[in-house]
Amino acid sequence: MIAEQGKFPVDLGLFNIKAHNPSFYELNESMRHKGVTRSIRDFCVPVNPYFPTDEIRAEFMQRLPDYLKYYPPGNEKVASILAGTLGLDAETVVMGNGSTELITWIDHLFVEENILTSVPTFGRWTDQSKETGKEVFYFRRCSSNDYRIDVERFVAKVAETRSRVAVISNPNNPTGALCSVAEIEEIAHRLQHLDLLVIDESFIEFSALEAVPTFEHRAAEFDNVIVLKSLGKNFGQHGVRLGYCVANISLAAKLRAALPKWNVNGAGVLLVEMFAKYQDAYELGRRAAVRDRIAFEAALRTVDDLVVYPSSGNFVFIQAPFNVDGISLRNSLLKDFGIFIRECGNKVGSTSNHFRVAVRPPGEAGELVEALKQCLRKLYLRV
């Protein structure tokens, strides 16, 4: 149905069509059909607002026609460019048309019977293997310790379920909880007997101002470890569909051989090249995004009765009071204020009272806080 009230008459029926939330584009288009030209603001999809800069974007657009006119180079060439930028062995790097393509092929190639993933998490880790007929086990993170992984409990759960493949998202999506490099290393050593251990680091660049705790430079030391990364998130260009993984040479070669020869499009190739050229600008933007998250989390903590969990991503996981309907809160923010946040009721291990809120610059954070307070008042909660 089309919402009749509020300044932003989006089609709320779009939320009933698919397991994943409707896109920012779809919601805006639903208002266009009603003759409304204003746009909603996206606090749902976590993006890096600082890269590329306006100058880099202008150069990107100028060079793009040639990259779209001709076939792009193959996976190995693009991986070599990226590996050189990151200080990795090119033979250990495999490029993907987004991290979801790599997740799909990891499932097809390495998951034979079952897989264990911590929850709540990114939906493809709970859904992909289930869709191909494998058994999916869940390690449930606990709110009592801010959704952090307890190494002993995690290793014990792997043994209890006899899982052959395990996945940890680090930092976790949607909760933002982070494992240290030492914790990941301990898990990797203790699970060397598995067919595969995947460390999904799609948001790790937003975890620290200094010394980002990535495991990508250690992955090739293990026979069964894949570290998965998402470049679209780092570059603020989700639509390009760009990701990569790092593994020992044997695992990487097996994964690379299964992928299409030209699986990275020309826009993605150009973005990788410009990333190599503009490392200083990227690093300045990355740090600015981390500082925004720290301020954003602090701002959210000023909303009474809202639980705000510590985050190491470019998003924050929050929980509304139990007597507030989460769907109503999402819809009120959307219709009355044009603010779109990710309601997490369709994630295993979460409820509709949980939300993942994408970090935005300080001025926009203040607008969100005020909107939350007003919406909660409207829903009969004292704030």
**What's the pLDDT tens digit per position in 3-37?**
345 789 899 999 887 667 888 888 988 988 888 88
The arithmetic mean of pLDDT across residues 194-219, rounded, is 96
Domain ranges of the chain: 12-51+281-378, 71-277
Q: Residue 118's pLDDT is what?
A: 97
pLDDT bucket at 2, cuts 50 / 70 / 90: very low
Close Cβ partners of 111 (under 8 Å, ≥ 6 residues apart): 129, 132, 134, 164, 165, 195, 196
Residues 187 and 197: beta-carbon distance below 8 Å: yes
Q: Residue 381's pLDDT is what?
A: 55
Q: Residue 5's pLDDT is what?
A: 55
pLDDT of residue 69 exceeding 70, the answer is yes
Q: Which amino acid is at 157?
A: K
pLDDT of residue 259 exceeding 50, the answer is yes
How far apart (Å, rounded) are the C-alpha atoms in residues 117 and 138? 5
**What's the pLDDT tens digit per position in 141-188?**
999 999 999 999 999 999 999 999 999 999 999 999 999 999 999 999
Q: b/e map of 313-324 (b: 16 or more CB within 10 Å)?
A: bbbbbbbbbeeb
Phi and psi, residue 317, nearest 5°: -95, 125
CATH number, span 12-51+281-378: 3.90.1150.10
Helices (H), 247-315: 249-258, 266-277, 279-300
Phi and psi, residue 341, nearest 5°: -120, 160
What pTM, to 2 d.p., does this model score?
Answer: 0.93
Out of 3.40.50.300, 3.40.640.10, 3.30.390.10, 3.90.79.10, the CATH code matching 71-277 is 3.40.640.10
Q: Which amino acid is at 234?
A: N
β-partners of residue 94 are 245
How far apart (Å, rounded) are the C-alpha atoms in residues 95 and 117? 23
How far apart (Å, rounded) are the C-alpha atoms in residues 363 and 355? 20
**What's the pLDDT tens digit per position in 108-149?**
999 999 999 999 999 999 999 999 999 999 999 999 999 999
**What's the pLDDT tens digit per position in 327-372?**
999 999 999 999 999 999 999 999 999 999 999 988 889 999 999 9
Helix, strand, or coil (residue 247):
strand
The arithmetic mean of pLDDT across residues 84-101, rounded, is 96
What sign results for the dihedral spanned by CA atoms 126, 130, 132, 134? positive
pLDDT bucket at 193, cuts 50 / 70 / 90: very high
Close Cβ partners of 48 (under 8 Å, ≥ 6 residues apart): 206, 233, 234, 235, 236, 285, 286, 289, 314
Nearest of 349, 371, 315, 317 to residue 45 by alpha carbon:
315
Q: Residue 379's pLDDT is what?
A: 87
**What's the pLDDT tens digit per position in 39-68?**
899 999 898 989 999 999 999 999 999 999
Helix, strand, or coil (residue 337):
helix
Close Cβ partners of 127 (under 8 Å, ≥ 6 residues apart): 19
The arithmetic mean of pLDDT across residues 283-290, rounded, is 95
Helix axes 362-378 and 279-300, enclosed angle (nearest 10): 30
Q: Residue 373's pLDDT is what?
A: 94
pLDDT of residue 247 exceeding 80, the answer is yes
